[in-house]
Amino acid sequence: MMLRPGVYLQNRYEVLEQVGSGGMSEVYKAKCHKLNRLVAIKVLKEEFSSDSGFVSKFKMEAQAAARLSHPNIVNVYDVIDEGKIHYIVMELIEGVTLKGYIARKEKLEIKESIGIAIQVAQGIAAAHEQNIVHRDIKPQNVIISMDGKVKVTDFGIARGVSTQTLTSAAMGSVHYISPEQARGGYSDARSDIYSLGITMYEMVTGRVPYEGENTVAIALAHLEEAMVPPRVYNPEIPVGLERIILK
């Protein structure tokens, strides 16, 4: 179910254009006429909206994310049900994903990588202090705004996905998941730190440490294979930074 430009939600949010699409949701740019500001609206896809268990999980997680207020986390303003439409109203960040940024530059400078990693880590730390685990840290979920601020997005939406482990929607995530998540086991704050490590590896080498034919092969690699040290691909990486990534 696509929202057309010009449609109003809650008599207040005017849909301007679709700006993205993920495994579970469509994202639109909209104008909030009440506060006269631009926002992003993430709408749950139709195939998930009819699953009441999924919807309640989606809402619970979004409400948890709405409690987080930190400069390195995309703010969640509201969680709304309108008939069959379930959506989250969020801060609109004009910028690029870290994934797109790495692709454009092939790999990032060491200093820049460290600066981005610190900002992501600060956002994750703020969430962990509130007992919120992201569970899907990857460069696709990190946005670099036009003015260079780094923000983590999709907090809490990830937990809904982990129930359908390793479906095609999880394909993008399987390169970054921790061994305990690959096993389908319990995941906690440490899982996010592992995924941040993989994200840092990709920033400085331009590649992910584990590749495979399919999701299962990649997941197994996280469990069984030793990681090729990042300095093999980029000798400019300081030894100290390599140690941090490998840890």
**Which residues participate in catalysis according to the annotation?**
136
What is the C-alpha to C-alpha distance for residues 53 and 186, in angstroms, rounded to an integer? 20
